[in-house]
Structure 1
Protein backbone atom coordinates (compact mmCIF):
# COMPACT_ATOMS: atom_id res chain seq x y z
CA UNK A 1 0.00 0.00 0.00
CA UNK A 2 2.64 2.53 0.94
CA UNK A 3 4.63 2.25 -2.27
CA UNK A 4 1.58 2.86 -4.51
CA UNK A 5 1.02 6.36 -3.16
CA UNK A 6 4.21 7.90 -4.60
CA UNK A 7 2.33 10.77 -6.17
CA UNK A 8 0.66 11.76 -2.89
CA UNK A 9 2.24 14.54 -0.86
CA UNK A 10 4.84 13.42 1.67
CA UNK A 11 2.62 14.14 4.72
CA UNK A 12 -0.25 12.20 3.18
CA UNK A 13 2.03 9.20 2.56
CA UNK A 14 3.39 9.46 6.10
CA UNK A 15 -0.13 9.48 7.50
CA UNK A 16 -1.12 6.51 5.32
CA UNK A 17 1.91 4.64 6.64
CA UNK A 18 0.95 5.60 10.20
CA UNK A 19 -2.56 4.21 9.70
CA UNK A 20 -1.30 0.92 8.33
CA UNK A 21 1.24 0.65 11.15
CA UNK A 22 -1.47 1.43 13.72
CA UNK A 23 -3.66 -1.36 12.34
CA UNK A 24 -0.68 -3.73 12.52
CA UNK A 25 0.15 -2.60 16.06
CA UNK A 26 -3.45 -2.99 17.24
CA UNK A 27 -3.57 -6.46 15.71
CA UNK A 28 -0.31 -7.36 17.48
CA UNK A 29 -1.59 -5.94 20.74
CA UNK A 30 -4.74 -8.05 20.55
CA UNK A 31 -2.78 -11.19 19.63
CA UNK A 32 -0.02 -10.84 22.21
CA UNK A 33 -1.37 -8.47 24.86
CA UNK A 34 1.65 -6.19 24.38
CA UNK A 35 1.45 -3.11 26.65
CA UNK A 36 0.98 0.09 24.66
CA UNK A 37 4.31 1.75 25.65
CA UNK A 38 6.23 -1.40 24.66
CA UNK A 39 4.33 -1.62 21.39
CA UNK A 40 5.00 2.02 20.51
CA UNK A 41 8.69 1.64 21.31
CA UNK A 42 8.96 -1.48 19.16
CA UNK A 43 7.37 0.22 16.16
CA UNK A 44 9.47 3.38 16.58
CA UNK A 45 12.72 1.47 16.86
CA UNK A 46 12.22 -1.52 14.58
CA UNK A 47 9.45 -0.99 12.05
CA UNK A 48 9.43 2.51 10.59
CA UNK A 49 11.75 3.06 7.65
CA UNK A 50 12.77 -0.60 7.59
CA UNK A 51 13.46 -2.55 4.41
CA UNK A 52 11.29 -5.66 4.17
CA UNK A 53 11.52 -7.98 1.16
CA UNK A 54 13.66 -5.38 -0.63
CA UNK A 55 10.99 -2.68 -0.20
CA UNK A 56 11.77 0.25 2.07
CA UNK A 57 8.74 1.18 4.11
CA UNK A 58 7.78 4.85 4.13
CA UNK A 59 8.46 6.58 7.40
CA UNK A 60 5.21 7.09 9.24
CA UNK A 61 4.11 10.28 10.95
CA UNK A 62 4.99 9.05 14.43
CA UNK A 63 2.82 11.46 16.41
CA UNK A 64 -0.20 10.47 14.33
CA UNK A 65 0.62 6.76 14.75
CA UNK A 66 1.00 7.22 18.50
CA UNK A 67 -2.32 9.06 18.70
CA UNK A 68 -4.12 6.28 16.82
CA UNK A 69 -2.72 3.47 18.95
CA UNK A 70 -3.08 5.28 22.27
CA UNK A 71 -6.51 6.62 21.36
CA UNK A 72 -7.93 3.26 20.32
CA UNK A 73 -6.55 1.70 23.50
CA UNK A 74 -7.82 4.46 25.80
CA UNK A 75 -11.28 4.67 24.24
CA UNK A 76 -11.77 0.98 23.42
CA UNK A 77 -15.15 0.61 25.13
CA UNK A 78 -16.59 3.67 23.38
CA UNK A 79 -15.14 2.59 20.01
CA UNK A 80 -16.34 -1.00 20.33
CA UNK A 81 -19.78 0.30 21.30
CA UNK A 82 -19.99 2.45 18.15
CA UNK A 83 -18.95 -0.50 15.96
CA UNK A 84 -21.23 -3.00 17.70
CA UNK A 85 -24.20 -0.66 17.32
CA UNK A 86 -23.75 -0.87 13.53
CA UNK A 87 -23.23 -4.62 13.18
CA UNK A 88 -26.09 -6.71 11.84
CA UNK A 89 -28.44 -8.16 14.42
CA UNK A 90 -26.94 -11.24 16.00
CA UNK A 91 -23.36 -10.31 15.10
CA UNK A 92 -20.80 -9.62 17.78
CA UNK A 93 -17.50 -7.83 17.41
CA UNK A 94 -15.54 -10.90 18.49
CA UNK A 95 -16.89 -12.80 15.45
CA UNK A 96 -14.90 -10.52 13.15
CA UNK A 97 -11.35 -11.29 12.08
CA UNK A 98 -8.72 -9.59 14.28
CA UNK A 99 -7.39 -7.62 11.33
CA UNK A 100 -10.90 -6.43 10.55
CA UNK A 101 -11.39 -5.35 14.17
CA UNK A 102 -8.12 -3.40 14.07
CA UNK A 103 -9.16 -1.61 10.87
CA UNK A 104 -12.61 -0.75 12.19
CA UNK A 105 -11.31 0.36 15.58
CA UNK A 106 -8.67 2.64 14.14
CA UNK A 107 -11.07 4.12 11.58
CA UNK A 108 -13.75 4.63 14.22
CA UNK A 109 -11.26 6.34 16.52
CA UNK A 110 -10.34 8.79 13.75
CA UNK A 111 -13.98 9.53 13.08
CA UNK A 112 -14.62 10.18 16.77
CA UNK A 113 -11.45 11.97 17.82
CA UNK A 114 -9.83 13.51 14.73
CA UNK A 115 -12.19 16.15 13.32
CA UNK A 116 -9.16 17.59 11.50
CA UNK A 117 -9.38 14.61 9.12
CA UNK A 118 -12.35 14.55 6.75
CA UNK A 119 -14.79 11.65 6.77
CA UNK A 120 -13.92 10.91 3.14
CA UNK A 121 -10.22 10.71 3.91
CA UNK A 122 -10.76 8.40 6.88
CA UNK A 123 -12.97 6.02 4.93
CA UNK A 124 -10.74 6.03 1.82
CA UNK A 125 -7.61 5.35 3.85
CA UNK A 126 -9.11 2.40 5.72
CA UNK A 127 -10.57 1.02 2.50
CA UNK A 128 -7.02 1.02 1.08
CA UNK A 129 -5.85 -0.91 4.13
CA UNK A 130 -8.78 -3.34 3.90
CA UNK A 131 -7.90 -4.01 0.25
CA UNK A 132 -4.46 -5.18 1.41
CA UNK A 133 -5.97 -7.84 3.67
CA UNK A 134 -9.43 -8.73 2.39
CA UNK A 135 -11.56 -9.31 -0.69
CA UNK A 136 -14.12 -6.94 -2.15
CA UNK A 137 -17.03 -8.15 0.01
CA UNK A 138 -15.14 -7.35 3.22
CA UNK A 139 -13.94 -4.01 1.82
CA UNK A 140 -17.58 -3.08 1.16
CA UNK A 141 -18.38 -4.09 4.74
CA UNK A 142 -15.66 -1.71 6.04
CA UNK A 143 -17.02 1.05 3.80
CA UNK A 144 -20.60 0.60 4.97
CA UNK A 145 -19.77 0.30 8.65
CA UNK A 146 -17.41 3.29 8.77
CA UNK A 147 -19.93 5.34 6.77
CA UNK A 148 -22.63 4.54 9.33
CA UNK A 149 -20.32 5.30 12.26
CA UNK A 150 -19.43 8.61 10.60
CA UNK A 151 -23.14 9.44 10.41
CA UNK A 152 -23.44 8.68 14.11
CA UNK A 153 -20.44 10.69 15.34
CA UNK A 154 -20.11 13.59 12.90
CA UNK A 155 -22.96 16.01 12.35
Structure 2
Protein backbone atom coordinates (compact mmCIF):
# COMPACT_ATOMS: atom_id res chain seq x y z
CA UNK A 1 0.00 0.00 0.00
CA UNK A 2 1.28 3.43 -0.96
CA UNK A 3 1.72 6.29 1.50
CA UNK A 4 1.24 8.91 -1.22
CA UNK A 5 -1.96 10.90 -1.11
CA UNK A 6 -4.72 10.11 -3.55
CA UNK A 7 -4.65 12.29 -6.64
CA UNK A 8 -6.90 15.31 -6.40
CA UNK A 9 -9.94 15.26 -8.59
CA UNK A 10 -9.96 17.87 -11.32
CA UNK A 11 -12.54 20.48 -10.36
CA UNK A 12 -14.99 21.15 -13.16
CA UNK A 13 -14.93 24.77 -14.28
CA UNK A 14 -18.04 26.80 -13.51
CA UNK A 15 -19.98 28.50 -16.29
CA UNK A 16 -18.56 31.85 -15.15
CA UNK A 17 -15.01 30.51 -15.26
CA UNK A 18 -15.60 28.98 -18.69
CA UNK A 19 -16.92 32.29 -20.07
CA UNK A 20 -14.01 34.17 -18.51
CA UNK A 21 -11.57 31.74 -20.16
CA UNK A 22 -13.36 32.24 -23.50
CA UNK A 23 -13.00 36.01 -23.21
CA UNK A 24 -9.34 35.68 -22.25
CA UNK A 25 -8.52 33.43 -25.21
CA UNK A 26 -10.61 35.63 -27.51
CA UNK A 27 -8.68 38.71 -26.38
CA UNK A 28 -5.36 37.02 -27.11
CA UNK A 29 -6.56 35.79 -30.49
CA UNK A 30 -8.00 39.19 -31.42
CA UNK A 31 -4.75 40.86 -30.40
CA UNK A 32 -2.95 38.47 -32.73
CA UNK A 33 -5.43 39.30 -35.52
CA UNK A 34 -4.97 43.04 -34.99
CA UNK A 35 -1.19 42.75 -35.05
CA UNK A 36 -0.75 40.17 -37.81
CA UNK A 37 -3.80 40.52 -40.02
CA UNK A 38 -3.91 36.72 -40.31
CA UNK A 39 -7.20 35.04 -41.18
CA UNK A 40 -9.49 34.52 -38.19
CA UNK A 41 -10.06 30.85 -39.07
CA UNK A 42 -6.29 30.24 -39.03
CA UNK A 43 -5.92 32.00 -35.69
CA UNK A 44 -8.82 30.03 -34.21
CA UNK A 45 -7.34 26.74 -35.40
CA UNK A 46 -3.95 27.65 -33.93
CA UNK A 47 -5.50 28.58 -30.56
CA UNK A 48 -7.48 25.36 -30.39
CA UNK A 49 -4.35 23.31 -31.19
CA UNK A 50 -1.92 25.21 -28.95
CA UNK A 51 -4.05 25.67 -25.82
CA UNK A 52 -5.93 23.47 -23.40
CA UNK A 53 -9.39 24.88 -23.93
CA UNK A 54 -11.25 22.14 -22.04
CA UNK A 55 -12.39 24.64 -19.40
CA UNK A 56 -13.51 27.18 -21.99
CA UNK A 57 -16.92 28.15 -23.32
CA UNK A 58 -15.96 27.35 -26.92
CA UNK A 59 -19.14 28.73 -28.52
CA UNK A 60 -18.51 32.08 -26.80
CA UNK A 61 -14.84 32.03 -27.82
CA UNK A 62 -15.85 31.42 -31.42
CA UNK A 63 -18.65 34.02 -31.32
CA UNK A 64 -16.28 36.71 -30.03
CA UNK A 65 -13.45 35.71 -32.32
CA UNK A 66 -15.61 35.86 -35.44
CA UNK A 67 -18.10 38.53 -34.36
CA UNK A 68 -15.63 41.22 -33.34
CA UNK A 69 -13.67 41.35 -36.63
CA UNK A 70 -16.80 41.18 -38.77
CA UNK A 71 -18.24 44.14 -36.83
CA UNK A 72 -14.96 45.94 -36.03
CA UNK A 73 -15.78 49.14 -37.90
CA UNK A 74 -19.19 49.53 -36.24
CA UNK A 75 -17.77 48.60 -32.83
CA UNK A 76 -15.01 51.19 -33.18
CA UNK A 77 -17.60 53.83 -34.14
CA UNK A 78 -19.70 52.91 -31.10
CA UNK A 79 -17.00 53.75 -28.54
CA UNK A 80 -14.91 56.26 -30.49
CA UNK A 81 -16.94 59.31 -29.30
CA UNK A 82 -15.90 58.52 -25.73
CA UNK A 83 -12.15 58.27 -26.40
CA UNK A 84 -9.73 60.98 -25.31
CA UNK A 85 -7.36 60.11 -28.16
CA UNK A 86 -7.59 58.84 -31.70
CA UNK A 87 -8.50 55.24 -32.36
CA UNK A 88 -5.06 54.73 -33.91
CA UNK A 89 -3.40 55.90 -30.70
CA UNK A 90 -5.17 53.30 -28.56
CA UNK A 91 -3.01 50.57 -27.10
CA UNK A 92 -3.75 47.35 -29.07
CA UNK A 93 -4.82 45.52 -25.90
CA UNK A 94 -7.16 48.35 -24.91
CA UNK A 95 -8.61 48.36 -28.41
CA UNK A 96 -9.22 44.59 -28.32
CA UNK A 97 -10.80 44.80 -24.85
CA UNK A 98 -13.03 47.70 -25.92
CA UNK A 99 -14.07 45.80 -29.03
CA UNK A 100 -15.00 42.71 -27.00
CA UNK A 101 -16.89 44.79 -24.44
CA UNK A 102 -18.66 46.78 -27.15
CA UNK A 103 -19.58 43.61 -29.02
CA UNK A 104 -21.10 42.11 -25.90
CA UNK A 105 -22.97 45.29 -24.96
CA UNK A 106 -24.45 45.60 -28.45
CA UNK A 107 -24.86 42.00 -29.64
CA UNK A 108 -25.13 39.88 -26.47
CA UNK A 109 -27.94 41.66 -24.68
CA UNK A 110 -28.70 38.59 -22.56
CA UNK A 111 -25.51 39.38 -20.63
CA UNK A 112 -26.15 42.12 -18.04
CA UNK A 113 -24.27 45.31 -18.85
CA UNK A 114 -22.51 45.29 -15.46
CA UNK A 115 -21.17 41.80 -16.16
CA UNK A 116 -19.87 42.92 -19.57
CA UNK A 117 -18.12 45.92 -18.05
CA UNK A 118 -16.69 43.93 -15.11
CA UNK A 119 -15.37 41.17 -17.37
CA UNK A 120 -13.79 43.73 -19.70
CA UNK A 121 -12.18 45.51 -16.76
CA UNK A 122 -10.76 42.18 -15.55
CA UNK A 123 -9.27 41.53 -19.00
CA UNK A 124 -7.67 44.98 -18.96
CA UNK A 125 -6.26 44.35 -15.47
CA UNK A 126 -4.70 41.07 -16.57
CA UNK A 127 -3.44 41.98 -20.04
CA UNK A 128 -3.40 45.78 -20.22
CA UNK A 129 -1.15 48.54 -18.99
CA UNK A 130 -1.24 49.56 -15.33
CA UNK A 131 -4.21 51.96 -15.46
CA UNK A 132 -5.93 50.71 -18.61
CA UNK A 133 -8.71 49.01 -16.64
CA UNK A 134 -9.90 52.42 -15.41
CA UNK A 135 -9.93 53.76 -18.97
CA UNK A 136 -11.82 50.71 -20.27
CA UNK A 137 -14.32 51.03 -17.41
CA UNK A 138 -15.04 54.68 -18.22
CA UNK A 139 -15.47 54.11 -21.96
CA UNK A 140 -17.72 51.06 -21.62
CA UNK A 141 -19.78 52.71 -18.89
CA UNK A 142 -20.54 55.61 -21.26
CA UNK A 143 -21.30 53.22 -24.11
CA UNK A 144 -23.61 51.16 -21.89
CA UNK A 145 -25.53 54.32 -20.99
CA UNK A 146 -26.17 54.78 -24.70
CA UNK A 147 -26.87 51.21 -25.89
CA UNK A 148 -28.36 49.68 -22.72
CA UNK A 149 -30.43 52.64 -21.53
CA UNK A 150 -33.58 50.55 -21.00
CA UNK A 151 -31.71 48.01 -18.86
CA UNK A 152 -29.98 50.71 -16.83
CA UNK A 153 -33.22 52.61 -16.23
CA UNK A 154 -34.99 49.39 -15.19
CA UNK A 155 -32.26 48.74 -12.60
CA UNK A 156 -32.70 52.27 -11.26
CA UNK A 157 -36.47 51.84 -11.09
CA UNK A 158 -37.26 54.47 -13.72
Common fold: TM-score over 0.5:
yes
Residue of structure 2 equivalent to 1:74? 70
Are 1:44 and 2:80 counterparts?
no
Matches within 5 A, 1:4-153: 10-49=14-53, 59-88=55-84, 91-135=85-129, 137-153=131-147
Unaligned runs of at least 5 residues, structure 1 = 1-6, 50-57
> Cα offset for 1:135?
5.0
> Cα offset for 1:136?
5.2
Larger radius of gyration: 2
Question: Are the aligned partners of 1:103 and 1:130 in contact in 2 as well (CA < 8 Å)?
Answer: yes
Structure 1 SS opposite 2:52: coil
Q: Which has the higher contact order (CA 8 A, sep 6+)?
A: 1
- 4+ runs deviating over 3 angstroms: none
Question: Are the aligned partners of 2:79 and 2:139 in contact in 1 as well (CA < 8 Å)?
Answer: yes
> Cα offset for 1:40?
1.3
State the number of aligned residues: 139
Aligned equivalents of 2:14 and 2:131: distance in 1?
Answer: 31
CA deviations 1:30-59 (Å, max 9, x no partner) are 11111011111111222234xxxxxxxx62
Aligned equivalents of 2:74 and 2:42: distance in 1?
Answer: 23
